[in-house]
Amino acid sequence: MYVFNMGTQLSIDELLNSEEHHADPYPLWKRMRHEAPVFFDKKLNAWLLTRYEDCVEAFSNHTDFSNQLYSKTLGVVFGPTMLDKDGHEHVVQRRIVAPEFVGKRFEPYYEAIERNARNLINEFPDDGVVDLVNAFTTRLPVNVIVDMLGMDQSDHERFHDWYTTMMAGLSVKDLLESQFSSEKQNLGVLAHQQLAEYVAPIIEDRKSCPVGDLISKIVHAEAEGQKLTLTEIQAFISLLLVAGGETTDKGIANMWTQLLLNPEQLDAVLDDQDLFDAAFSEMMRHSPPVPGQLRYAVNEVTFSGVTIPANQAVYIQLASANNDETVFSDPRSFKIDRDDLHLSKERKMGHHGDEGRYGHLGFGLGKHFCLGYEMARVEAVMGSTLLCGKMKNPRLAPGADTAFIMKSGTRSPKEVLIEYDQA
The reply to whether 32 falls in a domain is no
The reply to whether 1 falls in a domain is no
Which residues pair with residue 307 across a beta bridge? 302
Task: Name the least confident of 59-63, 291-295, 346-350, 362-366.
Answer: 346-350
The reply to whether 21 falls in a domain is no
Percent of the chain topping pLDDT 70 = 91
The reply to whether 26 falls in a domain is no
Domain of 386 in residue numbering reads as 37-422
Q: Cα–Cα distances in Å, from 156 out to 139, 152, 160, 183?
A: 9, 8, 6, 25
**What's the pLDDT score for residue 71?**
67
Region 22-36 average pLDDT: 95
pLDDT in tens, 129-143: 999 999 999 999 999
Q: For residue 346, count other CB atoms closer than 10 A to its CB.
A: 24
The reply to whether 24 falls in a domain is no
Strands 312-316 and 46-49: parallel
* Whether the predicted pLDDT of 114 surpasses 80: yes
The reply to whether 87 falls in a domain is yes
The reply to whether 60 falls in a domain is yes
How would residue 7 be classed by pLDDT, with cut points 50, 70 and 90? Answer: very low
Question: For residues 322-344, b (16+ Cβ closer than 10 Å) or e, as one string?
Answer: bbbeebbeebeebbbebebbbbe
Q: What CATH number is given to the structural domain containing 122?
A: 1.10.630.10
**What's the pLDDT score for residue 220?**
94
Number of domains in the chain: 1
